[in-house]
Structures are given as C-alpha cells and as structure tokens.
Amino acid sequence: MQGYVLDLVDIFRELGLRNVIYVGHSMNGMVGLLTAIRYPEFFKK
C-alpha cells in the first residue's frame, strides 16, 4: 500500500495540487486515507 501512497503523492507534486478533495472506493479509499494521514498538507477533505 505504501507504494500507492508514494505514487499518489508524486502525482500531487507533479501537478502542483493542494487542497485536494479525494474520493476513493475500496482499496483506493484506503490509499487516500493513508496518504492523508502521512501527507495532510495536500488535502482539503
């Protein structure tokens, strides 16, 4: 799962995204949750 977290953060950084509202289902929901816990600076909700 941590590989997916790092991939998602790389995408956020490459696109210059901040205040992301992330919606995920099943495994993608868990990836979003783990990413938000580790990198809260990228998320709005």
- What was the pLDDT predicted at 44? 87
- What was the pLDDT predicted at 32? 95
- Could you report the per-residue pLDDT of 1-45, keeping only the tens digit for each? 999 999 999 999 999 999 999 999 999 999 999 999 999 999 987
List of residues 6+ apart from 42 with CB closer than 8 A: 9, 12, 17, 18, 19, 20, 35, 36
Domain with 23 in it: 2-42
Q: What is the Cα–Cα distance from 18 to 2, expressed in whole angstroms? A: 20
List of residues 6+ apart from 7 with CB closer than 8 A: none
pTM to 2 decimal places: 0.86
- What was the pLDDT predicted at 9? 97
Q: How many domains does the chain have?
A: 1
